């Protein structure tokens, strides 16, 4: 017999520029979406990658908190800062990394993003 359960989560999300400070997040998930959809949900990228990605591996990054826990959303080694003319223009990138200190945070960010995107359509 199959049983179904519905789980409703209440989350608080704050997009927060922390400047040069790094949170020590690492890859905790992915989002398959467009730059425009990310901007629709989270607003414009809020990180100066010239300061935070001096190795040029990241072109765009959002930093935020979900239920008080840090997360980042970013492209990694796919854009023009790392690949030059061979890089994908930012507005055409459709694979984004979620960084967090725990995988459950990445899962929360993913669920929040897709729920908010669906609600805003």
Q: What is the secondary structure of 34-97 as a DSSP string? A: -HHHHHHHH-S----HHHH-TTS--S-EEEEEETTEEEEEE--S-SHHHHGGGSPPGGG--EEE
DSSP code, position 13? E
**pLDDT for the residue numbered 24:** 82
* Res 120: pLDDT: 77
The pLDDT assigned to 14 comes to: 73
Q: What's the CA gap between 64 and 62, in Å, rounded?
A: 7
Task: Please give the pLDDT value at position 53.
Answer: 75
What is the reported pTM?
0.84
Structure confidence by residue, pLDDT tens digits, 65-110: 998 889 999 999 999 999 999 999 999 999 999 999 999 999 999 9
């Amino acid at each position: 017999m199959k049983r179904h359960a519905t789980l409703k989560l209440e989350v608080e999300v704050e997009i927060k520029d922390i400047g040069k400070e790094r949170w020590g997040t690492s890859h905790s998930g992915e989002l398959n979406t467009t730059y425009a959809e990310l901007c629709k949900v989270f607003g414009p990228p809020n990180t100066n990658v010239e300061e935070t990605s001096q190795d040029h591996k990241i072109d765009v990054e959002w930093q935020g908190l979900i239920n008080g826990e840090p997360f980042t959303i970013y492209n990694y080694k796919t854009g023009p800062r790392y690949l030059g003319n061979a890089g994908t223009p930012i507005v055409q990138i459709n694979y984004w990394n979620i960084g967090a200190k725990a995988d459950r945070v990445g899962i929360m960010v993913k669920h929040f993003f897709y729920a908010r995107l669906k609600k805003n359509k």
